[in-house]
Copies of this chain bind each other. A is one copy, B any other.
Amino acid sequence: MAAGLIQERPHPDFASQARPQAFADGIGLTPLSAPYAPNEEIYAEEDATKCVYKVLSGAVRITRHLSDGRRHISAFYLPGEIFGFEPGAAHRFAAEAIADSRIAMVRRAQIEDAALRDPGVGRAMWDLAAQDLERLQEHMLLLGRRSAAQRVAAFLIELSERLNNRDTVDVPMSRTDIADYLGLTIETVSRTLTQFERDGLIEMPSARHIFIKNRAALERLDS
């Protein structure tokens, strides 16, 4: 419901000055960046795929709303990760900020130009697509064939690895977000986490702050 495409709204500042090569690792373009508030829409379902985005800080969810009102989250993106790169002409999912976030973005046309000049750029986008596809397929496996405990364990492990926090995980998303991502209810997510805590696998000083006490056991869960 929020603003449409990002480049159509005012940009409070230009990352191109503050951080040249912010997309650096692989794309090497100097993007604009903008702040987003929690739940603010970055692009909508059906929006044209005009830009590619990078999370500078915060976190992003890729969502779709079903006809019966329920919501599905197909992916999360964390600081340093790039999203919004899809083959089709229109997005099939919306992207929303989860927390206060800073997002960098470049126009696709710019990337395509750059790819013509520098084959490394094209390869980088290709690698990006490969990584997205891999995550999508792993996630499909998880949704189709894993128990609640396996899903939550896999989620924690992946989140911890992608946040690069060794054992202290600052969970940026709500239980509802996690549930919609894992294909469970918030109650099941909550109960599973509580059980993990009882079993000594994790500690939860608060809901958004999880400490992994026994990573090996969590990893063993998805046998």
Q: Say whether A141 contacts B72, CB under 8 Å.
A: yes
A140 contact from B66, B129, B130, B140, Cβ within 8 A: B140
Chain A residues 9-23 with CB under 8 Å of chain B are: none
A101 to chain B, nearest CB (A): 23
- Given the interface pairs A223-B67, A223-B68, the reply to whether A88 lies near B133 with Cβ below 8 Å is yes
Q: Say whether B137 contacts A74, CB under 8 Å.
A: yes
Q: Say whether B145 contacts A140, CB under 8 Å.
A: no
Q: Say whether A145 contacts B87, CB under 8 Å.
A: no
Q: Say whether A144 contacts B72, CB under 8 Å.
A: yes
Residue A117 at the chain B interface, CB threshold 8 Å: no
Chain A residues 172-210 with CB under 8 Å of chain B are: 182-183
Residue A136 at the chain B interface, CB threshold 8 Å: yes
A interface, size bucket: 20 to 34
Q: Say whether B133 contacts A140, CB under 8 Å.
A: no
Q: Say whether B223 contacts A143, CB under 8 Å.
A: no
A133 to chain B, nearest CB (A): 6
Residue A158 at the chain B interface, CB threshold 8 Å: no
- Which residues of B lie under 8 Å from residue A130 when comparing CB positions? 86-88
Residue A83 at the chain B interface, CB threshold 8 Å: no
Q: Say whether A72 contacts B129, CB under 8 Å.
A: no
A139 contact from B70, B88, B134, B140, Cβ within 8 A: B140
Q: Say whether A136 contacts B136, CB under 8 Å.
A: yes
Q: Say whether B145 contacts A144, CB under 8 Å.
A: no
Which residue of A86, A140, A144, A222 has the most chain B CB atoms within 10 A of its CB atom? A144
A-side residues, CB < 8 A to B, are: 64, 66-68, 70, 72, 74, 86-88, 92-93, 126-127, 129-130, 133-134, 136-137, 139-141, 143-145, 182-183, 222-223
Q: What are 16 contact pairs spanning A and B, CB under 8 A?
A: A67-B223, A70-B145, A72-B141, A87-B127, A87-B133, A88-B133, A92-B134, A92-B137, A133-B136, A136-B137, A136-B140, A140-B143, A143-B144, A144-B182, A144-B183, A145-B183
The 5 closest A-B pairs by CB, nearest first: A144-B183, A87-B130, A143-B143, A88-B130, A87-B129
